[in-house]
Structure 1
Amino acid sequence: MIYINQVFQYFSNSRRIRVIEIQESYVYVVNIDTTSAMPIKELYTSLETDIKQGELLAVSDPYAKAIPDGELTDVQINKREQDWDIVEKFILPNISELLQKKGREQKISQIVEQTGLGKTKVKKLLSRYWQRGMNKNAMLPDYANSGGRGKTKTLTKEKVGRPRRVTVSGEYQTGINITDELKLQFELAINKYYRTTNNYSLKDVYHFILRDFYSDRYKENGEMKYRVWEADRIPSYNQFYYWFKKQEDPKKDIQFRKSAKEYELKHRPILSDSKSETNGPGTRFQIDATIADIYLVSSFDVNRVIGRPVIYAVIDVYSRIITGIYVGLEGPSWIGAMMALDNMVVDKVEFCRDYGIEITEEQWPTHHLPEIIIADRGEFEGYSVENLINNLNIKIENTTAYRGDLKGIVERKFRTLNGKIKQKAPGAIQKEYRERGDRDYRLDATLNLKEFTALIITLVLHHNHKIIEKYPMEKEMIVDGVVPTPVNVWNWGIKNRKGRLRTVDRNILRLNVLPRGKATISRAGIKFKNLLYGSRKAIEEQWYLNLKNRSIEIVYDPRNVEKIYIPHDDGRDYETCILLEPSQQYKNDYLEEIIFQQQLRNELEEIERSNQVQLTINTDAMLEDIIKKAEKKKKQSQHQPTSKREKLASIKENKAVEKELHRQVEHFDLEAEAEQGSERATVTVIDFATKEKLEDETPKKSTSRLMDKLRKKRDEEFGKDK
């Protein structure tokens, strides 16, 4: 319900309005936060909708304050009486016309004529009357007092609840009651300020509430200022805190203040375990990577520290047995994950033997494909995942971003491995931050990559035969006397639960996990990443002759560009392509290095293109300059043929003369260097065409009679012009 003289505040921009009239389906409101304001006509239903949606809140009247006349000065009383007399005699009788926008200015002009006041003064009185409660004390300078006429009161005047213990001037402060309107203000303020990533404290939110709903607004030096009301007109912080705790929603608060990911990761209830989603070995494998807390050295030089390795692990959710590992410098990336998947299907006896560790198949019996792989979005989004799904019938479940808890088993195993490494291995990270004077643990690095891999294999074998703490044992396991170690649970599950285990040829798996790309066939060979390849099949089937812009799908290993593979027979076989001679210079490079070099070349060419444009522009300018000078010289020449015929007829003779002149300048004289030391006579040389003086040159001796004749002819021509 909306009442006349009621004050509302828009939650989005804190603008406050007062209802000054209600007529049928319309409401007239005025902004109370401006110096001067005229009524605005709004639909009643529109305001009701804003109220229901929480956009418009009923708030305390900022001018509702009882001021006894005894507390006023004579000046204030006289000012109030004078202004109220104008309002009562000239404004109130015309209030209906003044509410309407049409004709308002004309009516104000009439009041100006009747009162003799200025137009600004009349508008100020009118605005003050509407903004400050439409009563006599609205005319008080800088004071306000309006009663909440027409507003339903549900509480007694006395404040309920425990009285405040703080006194002001020897009297207890009374405070205000927490009404439904106040609760709505609290709720919206919590949503606006507390449930955001700004992480405002409850005390901050309380201050925002006082600023938005319980303060007077004024401008000082052009800036908006707030003056909080007296303590007996505002809610206390304890009242706000009490209400907040009663209405607290921890889940919503964490999700909005932090993130939904953090809630799911750190705060959600844990009511089940990972094993409940499996029905035997091979149903679900979890794969993840971590950077080991240790520094390694080069296998070629123990004095070279190469940094920290990456460990990938694949774990069977049902039995907790580690089914595959990768220890190297790739990743975390698809390449590292690919290596772990490759190790997942390898014979572990042969694998361990490569690192000097002899085991039996019973000690590490895994070499199988799972039904489902749970992985991070990073490594298993895109790449060759579709091949695993379509060709090997493995489902991929990507965890939500930043939800490492969904791979809790493998995550916990990494913590255990890193803990063991810190206890035993030299070069392990002992502190997150070193203090002054602490020895740099990187200097203690001793293990190379192969030795560290052997160390990880040893820890994996230990894990596979270690009792699993708090493992959710099945009743049948207990009856069969199964000790809950990963190997025992794995073997028992294969025998009694079957699971979803499958085997696959290692090369077929590699063919499906390696990245795929598009290559084109040209006369120069099979082109991939600007590298040229050839194959026996391409030659036999004459691919290079039957060119129709053929594009073929290939499989490649970014770490070895010397070969690429063309799958055929529905992915069961492949054709090997070898790097051709023009691209052999790249055979020992990684693909990423080659792409970088190509990008660098393109960047250098792009940079040079701008220089080329500048060079072209400058060249054109120089050409034009040379041509212009030649044209100017031609125009200034005094020796002009009398006719076109005469000009064309002497071409042959002119060429002979010019040729002989140039021969004298261009000919080789091997003894000229020896003669340079002798004294050279200076002569004045005149240009034949321009008749201009050239630089002094030493006269050249010539025994050619023809040249003497040519010079004589030139001098004669020069004399004629004079």
Structure 2
Amino acid sequence: MIYINQVLQSVKDSTRIRIIEIEESYVYIVNIDANTSMPKKELYSSLVTDIEQKECLIIADPFARAVAEDELSEVQIQKRDADWEIIQTYCLEHMNSLLKKNGRETQIKEIAEALNVTPTKVKKLLSRYWQRGMNKNAMLPDYANSGGRGKTKKLSDDKVGRPRRVTVNGEYRSGINITDEVKTQFEHAINKYYRKTNNYSLKDVYHFILRDFYSDRYKENREVQYRIWESNRIPSYHQFYYWFKKLEDPKKDIEFRKSAKEYELKHRPILSNSKVETNGPGTRFQIDATIADIYLVSSFDVNRIIGRPVIYAIIDVYSRIITGIYVGLEGPSWLGAMMALDNMVADKVEFCKQYDIEITEEQWSTCHLPEVIIADRGEFEGYAVEGLINNLNIKIENTTAYRGDLKGIVERKFRTINGKVKQKAPGAIQKEYRERGDRDYRLDATLNLKEFTALIITMVLHHNHKIIDKYPMEKEMITDGVVPTPINLWNWGIQNRKGRLRTIDRDILRMNILPRGRATISRAGIKFKNLLYSSKRAIEEQWYAKLKNKSIEIVYDPRYLEKIYIPHDNGADYESCILLEPSQQYKLDFIEDVIFQHQLRNELEEEERSKQVQLTINTDTMMDQIIKVAEQKKKKTLHLPTNKKDKLAAIRENKATEKQANRINEKFDLSPILTEQNTEIIELKLEEKSEKKVSSRLMGKLKQKRDEEYGKNE
């Protein structure tokens, strides 16, 4: 429903209109922001539709006010009554004609002639009547806009403002008036000198003004010098400061002198709080990391200092309860954030038991997924976040760079934790810079990673049961007697507010936060990052023989390469793949180590490739030379002409002859090689020898050989 005198505002262009008449299926409206506005005819149903679709909003009447009669001046009353009389006498009786466009101009001219005024005067009176509520006080003149409150006064020849009290040589110096030209000089100097990263002070800027605009310039020793005018010819610093404050724009000043990030981080107005954006537990979680201000020692040797740990924390914005933590050496990176997300859904009783801390479920009952996670840009802009968004329906809101204040709750908790650590723990950083002679606090390191984690868990449990100062309590909380501690707010919010809490199987969460990659199937196995894997399912379905699925998606942990996982059933289950024997040497390595080693191998091979090319060229050259020599030798050798048939038929015989010759050259003689020596000749008794009968053919040949040698020596 819409009513006469109702005011609407367009969402599109912020135009404000007033309904001045409703008849049957039409309405008449006027623009209340125009100088003069005549009625326009609109369909009633069209206007109702705009309101229902929120294209027009019903707003409060900006001209509706209670005006006390005794506060009005006689002139105001006189003018109001005179104009109201004109409306009552001449306009109301012709209102039907004035509403319609056809015939309106004629009617206005008739009223103007009767009043002896111009038609424009009549239009202004009618516009004021329609625009301001169609009542008597709508005709009041705008005296509220008159006067000089907050405005610059008109200048006279004499100096305005408070006279100066300081005399120079017994004479008062009146100074100068601040004209528009002087103000332009001030504004120019502020933009040129003050709104710069040089960080000039206001005194410096004032001196630049005097130097640039109120001085005589002359040269001395070829250098330009400045002589400032007398004090009665220059503006004073107080005058400049006064006009600087009138021209001051704190936002612009800080952005130009420092940076826009500096303004947003430290100087912007704080008109709301983080809780406004939530309607219960789990609506928004904030996650962030910090490097703890303490040095730890190795769990294997207390004399080894291992550096500073990283702390990840996840906090529910509504209740301020810490829902997940990670204390370790990973990060700040996705691996550290991944560990914190895993702890977010973990059973906190079992988690604390790992560090010898006994708690009940009521002390720390968080193991849920949120609707939104507010995080830094770095860790939550990678491909591993897609599983949270697409599969778990968790929205990720990344803050602007260097805007830690946008995660103010978790940032504030880190300051508290680091402050407590500095008070209690040995090895904590006491101050940023040590002075000469100060003891090195790193040498005091005592806690190992497990002990420090237990320390952080203790502080988290304390935080979850500590009263939150200045928490924006709801009326229902106060009625129910809720003490504003995180655990109380968490439990109350679950019972009384809708929230967005969800639970999930921990393994499914891990499958969605672990990095994903592509593996290829070959006859050698499932290949990922040049490592070979196999699984029971792959063997049973004969993947390596069929090679139907050449590429598959896998999930892996960069810190543990002995296994990778193949998701199936739409991510509800997975198949484990084990590292095969040829790749077992890499089972204890991280993914970065494996990638580095393969990159190093590729670099070494790349360096060797130029030598390999030269080696190939040299080999080809030698082969060509051998072939050339053989061809030349063949040409020089005389041979009898033979037909092709006989030449081919002799291959077997030729091969046997060549084989016999090769056997003589290739035979193994295991006896030592004897060299020639001068030996004494021994006479043999041939008679005795010849009498012996040797039936062996071999012995006969030896005897013949001996006789021949003997004959030569004679």
Q: What is the aligned partner in structure 2 of residue 556 from structure 1?
A: 556
Give per-residue Cα distances to partners, 1:596-637, cap 9 Å, x unaligned.
Answer: 333333444455557778x779x97xx89xx9xxx9xx9xxx
Partner of 1:566: 566
Letter in 2 for 1:397: E
- What does residue 587 of structure 1 align with? 587
SS of the aligned residue for 2:366 comes to coil
**Kindly tell me: are residues 251 and 612 of structure 1, through their superposed partners in 2, closer, same or farther at Cα, counting changes over 3 Å?**
farther
Indicate the SS of the match to 1:313.
strand
> How far did 1:348 drift?
0.9
Aligned to 2:458: 458
Shift of residue 336 of structure 1?
A: 0.6
Displacement, 1:377? 1.4
Equivalent pair of 2:216/2:228 in contact (CA under 8 Å)? no
Distance change in 2, residues 1:171/1:288 (3 Å): same
Instruction: Name the SS of the counterpart of 1:539 in structure 2.
Output: helix
| Deviation sequence 1:63-85 (CA, Å, 0-9, x none) | xxxxxxxxxxxxxxxxxxxxxxx
- Residues 563-642 of structure 1 correspond to what in structure 2 (within 5 A)? 563-607=563-607
Counterpart contact for 2:283–2:501, Cα < 8 Å: yes
Distance 1:389 1:284 in 2: 14
Instruction: Extract unaligned runs of 5+ from structure 2.
Output: 1-153, 641-664, 678-714
Give distance in 2, aligned partners of 1:383 and 1:648. 74
* Cα distance, 1:219–1:607 mapped onto 2, change above 3 Å: farther
Question: How far 1:545 moved relative to its partner?
Answer: 4.0
Distance in 1 between residues matched to 2:357 and 2:213, nearest whole Å:
75
- 1:77-226 aligned at under 5 Å gives the runs 177-206=177-206, 226=224
Paired with 1:320 and 1:442, the residues of 2 have a C-alpha distance of 33
| Structure-1 separation of matches of 2:173 and 2:225 | 19
2:501 equivalent in structure 1? 501
Distance in 1, Cα, partners of 2:594 & 2:217: 66
Structure number with greater Rg is: 2
Specify the SS of the correspondent of 1:401: coil
- Aligned-partner Cα distance in 2 for 1:442–1:559: 28
Q: Who is 1:354 aligned against?
A: 354
**Residue 295 of structure 1 contacts residue 306 of structure 1 at CA under 8 Å; is this kept in 2?**
yes
8 Å CA contact 2:210–2:228 kept in 1: the answer is no
Q: Which residue of 2 aligns with 1:648?
A: 636
**Letter of the structure 2 residue corresponding to residue 250 of structure 1:** P
Q: Could you say if the C-alpha distance between residues 171 and 559 of structure 1 is closer, same or farther in structure 2, counting changes exceeding 3 Å? A: same
Aligned positions of 1:24-423 closer than 5 A? 177-206=177-206, 226-228=224-226, 231=229, 239-423=239-423
- One-letter identity of the residue aligned with 2:383: Y
The 3-state SS of whatever aligns with 2:434 is: coil
CA deviations over 1:194-246 (Å, ceiling 9, x no partner):
3233434345545655676678899999x9x6554652576665544442222
> Counterpart amino acid of 1:340?
A
Residue of structure 2 in register with 1:532 after alignment? 532
Cα pair 1:522 1:549 within 8 Å, conserved: no
Per-residue CA shift, 1:392-435, capped at 9, x if unaligned?
11111112211112222212222222222222222222222222
Report how far residue 455 of structure 1 moved: 1.5
Decide whether the 8 Å contact of 2:348 with 2:366 is kept in 1: yes
Structure 1 residue 507: deviation in Å? 0.4
Taking the aligned partners of 1:354 and 1:552, their CA distance within structure 2 comes to 37
8 Å Cα contact 1:211/1:226 also seen in 2: no
TM-score, length-normalised on structure 2?
0.61
- Give the Cα–Cα distance (whole angstroms) in 1 for the partners of residues 337 and 269 of structure 2: 31
Counterpart residue number, 1:24: none
CA contact (8 A) 1:468 1:485 kept: yes
Tell me the TM-score normalized by structure 1.
0.60
Deviation of the 1:343 alpha carbon: 0.5
Matched ranges for 1:630-709 at <5 A: 648-649=636-637
Give the partner amino acid of 2:374: I
1:237–1:470 CA distance, 2 compared to 1 (3 A): closer
Task: Deviation per CA, 1:307-340: give whole Å up to 9, x if none.
Answer: 1111111111111111111111011111111111
1:562: Cα distance to partner? Answer: 1.5
Q: Structure 1, residues 546-583: CA drift from partner, whole Å, max 9, x if none?
A: 45883322211111111122222222111222222222
Q: In the alignment, which residue of structure 2 is the partner of 1:128?
A: none
Query: In structure 2, the residue corresponding to 1:384 is in which secondary structure?
Result: helix
Distance 1:500 1:178, change over 3 A: same
User: What secondary structure is seen at the aligned counterpart in 2 of 1:544?
Assistant: helix
Q: For the residues of structure 2 that align with 1:535 and 1:439, how far apart are their CA atoms?
A: 57
Question: CA 1:211/1:557 → structure 2, altered by over 3 Å: closer, same or farther?
Answer: farther
Q: Which amino acid aligns with 1:366?
A: T
Gaps of 5+ in 1: 1-153, 635-643, 653-662, 676-722
Instruction: Give the letter for the 2:448 counterpart.
Output: N
- Relative distance call for 1:453 and 1:164 in structure 2 (3 A) is same
User: Are the structure 2 counterparts of residues 466 and 219 from structure 1 closer, same or farther at C-alpha, using a change threshold of 3 Å?
Assistant: same
Change (3 A) 1:160 1:274: closer
Native 8 Å contact 1:215 1:226 kept in 2: no
**CA contact 2:214–2:229 (8 Å) conserved in 1:** no
Give the Å deviation of 1:647.
7.5
Label 1:612 to 1:160 Cα distance change in 2 as closer, same or farther (>3 A): farther
Q: Secondary structure at the match of 2:332?
A: coil
* Maintained 8 Å contact 2:428/2:441: yes
CA–CA distance in 1 between the matches of 2:488 and 2:612? 73
Identify if the C-alpha distance between structure 1 residues 230 and 158 changes in structure 2 by more than 3 Å, giving closer, same or farther: farther
Question: Corresponding residue for 2:80?
Answer: none
Taking the aligned partners of 2:448 and 2:676, their CA distance within structure 1 comes to 71
Matched-pair contact (CA < 8 Å) for 1:210–1:228 = no
Measured against aligned partners, the alpha-carbon deviations of 1:362-413 in whole angstroms (never above 9, x if no partner) come to 1111111111111111221123222112111111111221111222221222
Task: Decide whether aligned partners of structure 1 residues 495 and 171 sit closer, same or farther in structure 2, where only a CA change above 3 A counts.
Answer: closer
Cα 1:645–1:382 change in 2 (3 A) is closer
For the aligned residue pairs, the C-alpha RMSD in angstroms reads 4.3
CA–CA distance in 1 between the matches of 2:526 and 2:164?
A: 89
Contact 2:543-2:549 within 8 A present in 1 as well: no
Rate the CA distance shift 1:174–1:442 in 2: closer, same or farther, 3 A: same
Counterpart CA distance in 1 for 2:430 and 2:322 is 26
1:280 is displaced (CA, Å) by: 1.4
Q: 1:541 to 1:357 in 2, by over 3 A?
A: same
CA contact (8 A) 1:292 1:308 kept: yes
Contact 1:173 1:231 in 2 (8 A): no
Cα gap change, 1:180 to 1:351, in 2 (>3 Å): same
Contact 2:219–2:225, Cα closer than 8 Å, also in 1: no
CA distance in 2, matches of 1:175, 1:600: 78
CA distance in 1, matches of 2:196, 2:397: 31
CA contact (8 A) 2:216 2:229 kept: no
- 1:91 aligns to what? none
Alpha-carbon distance in structure 1 between the residues aligned to 2:633 and 2:448:
92
